[in-house]
Amino acid sequence: MQPRTPLVLCVLLSQVLPLLTSAEDLDCAPGFQQKVFHIDQPAEFVEDRAILNLNFSDCKGNDQLHYEVSNPYFRVNNDGDLVAMRNITAVGKTLFIHARTRHAEDMAELVIVGGKDIQGSLQDIFKFARTSPVPRQKRSIVVSPILIPENQRQPFPRDVGKVVDSDRREGSRFRLTGKGVDQEPKGIFRINENTGSVSVTRPLDREMIATYQLFVETTDANGRTLEGPVPLEVIVIDQNDNRPIFQEGPYIGHVMEGSPTGTTVMRMTAFDADDPATDNALLRYNIRQQTPDKPSPNMFYIDPEKGDIVTVVSPALLDRETLENPKYELIIEAQDMAGLNVGLIGTATATIVIDDKNDHAPKFTKKEFQPTVEEGAMGVIVNLTVEDKDDPTTGAWRAAYTIINGNPGQSFEIHTNPQTNEGMLSVVKPLDYEISAFHTLLIKVENEDPLVPDVSYGPSSTATVHITVLDVNEGPVFYPDPMMVTRQENISVGSVLLTVNATDPDTLQHQTIRYSVYKDPAGWLNINPINGTVDTMAVLDRESPFVHNSVYTALFLAIDSGNPPATGTGTLLITLEDVNDNAPFIYPTVAEICNDAKNLSVVILGASDKDLHPNTDPFKFEIHKQTVPDKVWKISKINNTHALVSLLQNLNKANYHLPIMVTDSGKPPMTNITDLRVHVCSCRNSKVDCNAAGALHFSLTSVLLISLFSLTCL
């Protein structure tokens, strides 16, 4: 049985064979008879006014002749006239005109040179083109485009076309050049140098290279070009060798529950690498499978041409709360060849989520809640539970609670538990059983998102909370707290400061109260356990380290007679007024000076007092004259807190004790006498020798610097 010729090959031959040009009509060279034109740029190209006439011939009658111009504002009329489609001035330096028929194609170039200033009309400029056409040159090499199907099988090489030279010289040879011959990818095409037969050496892939631009010429035996080169176009014919591919996944769409029939959910489009001008890349879409297939196996429809997925069921079936699963997976297939059975198929999965809308109001699980809480306690006392059929991940499910009645003192707050959606009712201000043993709150619940227009909140969205307050034994309360008194320091022991007052909040229990000292850091105070009278049992001293900013702090306890007893704490703040009970003191108490010093200043003394003004400065500095000769030492006032001690003459190397008397400004004043030890040293060659004067710790210069620094600080 003879093997049948494949249909594709037959179709191919029917397309290719008519294009292989014979030697007939060799005087006709297909293409533009003039390929390059030069014009001066006019001031303006006028709409519909002919610029020049183009002469194109395919030597076959120019059937289905089509022109394309590189500038969209120009066109070529059927008679070959190039015209502007509107008045335009700037078009660039070059226009390209492409002409094509079923048998031939060619390109012409229009070069625009010069400025805008021109003389005469456009017809004058092109007068030479109309009156003296360029002589037509006869070409002996005749070529036609070669069409080759992609993916051809062995054997290779195989002939695909032929070049004819009507005026071929004896001994001349054909030569083929271009990409695919002597340029990468090399070696795909070759030509028989004697016969002009063009062959292909291996299968072609249109998706890699769709056309090849080759050039044919004839050469002599030495390789010199005799004629040409002439362009030869090789066109690769597409085959359906690429499946459609979905490139933009994952594909996830959302549609609101209850959406009208025909609501667009999403669009899915695939890509086919085959020739878009053929059915090889003409796609049709289809839903192959839907999971789950309830409540209908056909919940969605896909537009076979656009790829739009739309709903096809009634809004009632798109009820998220009644669906087995609010998420659908669709297997979408795209088939080329316009969906014919011979087409190739590509698939992808579309996930469609039915989004929730707030079409269910939250409802309390019961109308009344009855928590109990001890008086004085704080925190969560009850969790209010609700039910909501909407999506727990959305604001249509999340609850928001509000106390709408029964909370005038703002003692309660309610917050939503984000995990359970329960309302956590809390006491934020302590409750008092003696004031009110019961509280009744009215609470409403709503969603974060508004309800849809046809749904509203009903009676089940409110609840009543009855709160019972339990009585506990509360500790006595001091009033006022803190308690404050002001006394002079050094008042006599046993002086009464005040009587504290504490009351028992448990007015219905009739309990007695006893008092005691809780914290008394200095041990100065005593309290009567029955009546709460506080008196002193030691001298109060404002200068004590237990006193801060003249205030002494003590704590007292009030203990009731309950079982078990409850305790309350009160604070007493005693402000101590200053009394001049501290004598001033001087600093420093040691100084040194060289026995041959020219500057007889010995030291700057400062004075300080633990008391407060006016029981401190200004201080009075004196040398105690009963034991010190006036002619040796001198003390001079610098300011209210400092004085300068100096010598009236140089002294021998020795240790001296100078009694300094300093007196404050209190009434009555207080005086302190302090010995200032002065070491007179031998100072020679920058060496200070105070051995004979006893052990010294500071040089005179150091003492003076320290004293000056203290003076500056004060």
> What is the SS3 string spanning 121-181?
CHHHHCHHHHHCCCCCCCCCEECCCEEEECCCCCCCCEEEEECEECCCCCCCEEEEEEECC
Closest Cα partner for 217 from 177, 179, 180? 177
Indicate whether 2 pLDDT > 50: no
From residue 611, give the alpha-carbon distance in Å to each of 449, 606, 616: 70, 16, 6
Query: For position 628, what pLDDT does the model report?
Result: 53
pLDDT tier at 35, thresholds 50, 70, 90: confident
Sign (positive or negative) of CA dihedral 292, 297, 301, 302? positive
Query: For position 269, what pLDDT does the model report?
Result: 96
Pairwise CA distance, residues 560 & 502, whole Å: 10
Q: Which two tokens stand for residue 572?
A: 């007493």
| Percent of the chain residues topping a pLDDT of 70 | 88
Indicate whether 295 pLDDT > 70: yes
295 within 8 A of 323, measured Cβ to Cβ: yes
Closest Cα partner for 714 from 574, 595, 616? 616
Q: What is the dihedral of CA 292, 293, 295, 298, to 10 degrees?
A: 130
pLDDT tier at 487, thresholds 50, 70, 90: very high
- Report the half-sphere exposure of 579 (CA within 13 A, side-chain side): 12
Q: If you ran DSSP here, which 8-state letter would residue 317 be given? A: G
Query: For position 201, what pLDDT does the model report?
Result: 94
Q: Tell me the three state secondary structure of residue 40.
A: strand
Q: Which two tokens stand for residue 569?
A: 């704490």
Mean pLDDT of 650-679: 91
Closest Cα partner for 218 from 158, 159, 177, 182? 177
Indicate whether 571 pLDDT > 60: yes
Phi, psi of 258 (to 5 degrees): 75, 10
Mean pLDDT of 281-298: 94
Say how many C-beta atoms besides its own lie within 10 A of residue 17's C-beta. Answer: 8
Mean pLDDT of 20-37: 63
Indicate whether 348 pLDDT > 60: yes
Q: Which two tokens stand for residue 104?
A: 């031939």
pLDDT tier at 4, thresholds 50, 70, 90: very low
**Peptide bond just before 588 cis, omega within 30 deg:** yes
What H or E segment, with its residue span, contains residue 274?
none
Displacement of CA 497 from its chain's centroid (Å): 65
Instruction: Identify the weakest region by mean pLDDT among 22-26, 97-101, 148-152.
Output: 22-26
DSSP string, 52-69: EE--EE-SS--TT-EEEE
Instruction: Identify the weakest region by mean pLDDT among 31-35, 182-186, 399-403.
Output: 31-35
pLDDT tier at 126, thresholds 50, 70, 90: very low
Closest Cα partner for 408 from 435, 370, 368? 435
The model's pTM is: 0.48
164 within 8 A of 142, measured Cβ to Cβ: yes
Q: Which two tokens stand for residue 305?
A: 């041409």
Closest Cα partner for 215 from 225, 201, 205? 225
Per the listing, tokens 């005109």 go with 97
Query: For position 63, what pLDDT does the model report?
Result: 85
Bridge partners of 486?
575
65-80 pLDDT per residue, tens: 888 886 767 889 988 8
| Percent of the chain residues topping a pLDDT of 90 | 58
Pairwise CA distance, residues 30 & 25, whole Å: 11
Q: Which two tokens stand for residue 442?
A: 């009215």
Give a three-class secondary structure readout of 205-270: CCCCCCEEEEEEEEECCCCCEEEEEEEEEEEEECCCCCCCECCCCCEEEEEECCCCCCCEEEECCC
Query: For position 630, what pLDDT does the model report?
Result: 59
What H or E segment, with its residue span, contains residue 548?
none
368 within 8 A of 464, measured Cβ to Cβ: yes
Q: If you ran DSSP here, which 8-state letter would residue 3 be given? A: P
Amino acid at 368: E
- Report the half-sphere exposure of 164 (CA within 13 A, side-chain side): 16
Top pLDDT among 58 and 336 is at 336
Query: Which residue spans within 370-480 are E strands per DSSP?
Result: 372-374, 379-384, 386-387, 399-405, 412-416, 423-427, 438-447, 462-470, 477-478
Indicate whether 435 pLDDT > 80: yes
Pairwise CA distance, residues 485 & 493, whole Å: 16
Per the listing, tokens 């591919």 go with 245
Q: What is the mean pLDDT of the chain?
A: 85
Burial-class residue 180 by CB neighbours within 10 Å (0-12, 13-18, 19+): buried
Query: For position 344, what pLDDT does the model report?
Result: 95
Per the listing, tokens 């739009």 go with 308
- Spell out the residues 6+ positions from residue 568 whose beta carbon is closer than 8 angstroms to its own: 475, 476, 477, 478, 502, 557, 558, 559
521-531 pLDDT per residue, tens: 999 999 999 99
